[in-house]
Structure formats: C-alpha cells, structure tokens
C-alpha cells in the first residue's frame, strides 16, 4: 500500500506543476505589454490574447484534474488485476487490453473538454475553422491511429522484456534498478 501511495503522490506532481505554471503565466500576463513586442502586438490584440488565455484556464485545469483522477483510480484500484483477468493471464493480452482501455478512457475524458474548448472558446475568438463533423472525424482518427501504434509499441516492449532473460542467459536486474529504469522510460 505504501508503494501505491508513493505512486499516487508522484502522479499528482504533473497536476501540481501545471497549476503552478499556469499561476506564473497569469501573473506575467498581468504586467503591461513589453516594449519588445509592442510593434507586433497592439494593445487591443494583447488584451484579446490575455482574455483568450484566461478563458482557456478552466478547460485546461479540468482536463488535468480528470487525467489525475483517472491515474489515481488506476493506481489505487485493482485495475491491473482486472485487465489480467480479462486476458486470462496472457501477458500480451494483458498489455493490449490495458493499453486500449487506458487510451479509450483518456479519449472519452478529454473529448468533452476539447469540444468545449474548440466550439465555445475558440469560436468566440474566431480561431475555430472546423465543423463538428470534421472535429469528430479528426478526434476518432487520432484515437484509433494512436491506439494501434501505441499498443503495437507496448506489445513489442512486452515481447522484449519477456524474452530478455533468455536472450541474456538469465541476467537479472534488481528490483530497485528496474524501477529506476521504468521511471526513466515513462
């Protein structure tokens, strides 16, 4: 359980960093228009940019929070045991099912936020040039392509890791080094 708590704390770091970074950017945008860019940005254009970025804050924080909550659920629940059960213990099936489920959940959680950002905020500022049909087509194409490519990559990695002991004549890596290597990969 301590390891899960440690993982949950580590999963919170990107959210905390995003909030901190957003706070710093907002603070910087409250300063007057810098002279270096005054010839590029008019006062009105700068104010429009600041207002646009301010409206993007809520959808961004919501998407970050939802991603963090999904990560917490995965870490604190027996999610991986469920995926292994669905695959009947087959390691390749477990990897494939886990990858597809996680990407599908991420897609479904992010879709409403992305839709709101594009068709409410970007439309308000004249930055949206896509129709709803094109939006959904692009999102679904990106999801399917990303899922197939990522799942293939994860399966290749699983294949390598499962066969590595045989290829290296039973060479073993201590657990703490394996955790360090995985943290570097992620």
Per-position DSSP letters for 38-82, written without gaps between them: TTTS-HHHHHHHHHHHHHHHHHHHHHHHHHHHHHHHHHHSSHHHH
pTM: 0.79
- Check whether 85 has a pLDDT greater than 90: yes
Note the pLDDT tens digit of each residue in 48-84. 988 999 999 999 999 999 999 999 999 999 999 999 9
Note the pLDDT tens digit of each residue in 6-19. 888 898 998 999 99
Query: What was the pLDDT predicted at 92?
Result: 95
Note the pLDDT tens digit of each residue in 115-169. 999 999 999 999 998 999 999 999 999 999 999 999 999 999 999 888 877 777 6
Q: What are the φ/ψ torsions at residue 30 (nearest 5 degrees)?
A: -80, -15
């Amino acid at each position: 359980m301590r390891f899960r708590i440690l993982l949950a704390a580590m999963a919170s770091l990107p959210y905390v960093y995003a909030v901190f970074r957003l706070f710093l950017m907002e603070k910087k945008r409250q300063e007057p228009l810098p002279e270096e860019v005054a010839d590029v940005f008019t006062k009105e254009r700068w104010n429009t940019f600041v207002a646009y970025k301010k409206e993007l804050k809520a959808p961004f924080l919501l998407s970050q929070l939802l991603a963090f909550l999904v990560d917490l659920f995965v870490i604190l629940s027996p999610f991986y045991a469920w995926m292994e059960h669905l695959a009947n213990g087959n390691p390749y099936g477990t990897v494939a099912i886990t990858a597809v489920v996680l990407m599908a959940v991420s897609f479904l959680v992010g879709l409403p936020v992305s839709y709101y950002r594009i068709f409410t905020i970007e439309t308000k500022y004249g930055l949206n040039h896509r129709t709803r049909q094109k939006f959904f087509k692009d999102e679904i194409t990106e999801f399917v392509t990303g899922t197939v490519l990522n799942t293939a990559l994860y399966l290749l990695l699983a294949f390598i890791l499962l066969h590595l002991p045989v290829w290296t004549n039973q060479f073993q890596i201590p657990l703490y080094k394996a955790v360090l290597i995985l943290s570097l990969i992620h």
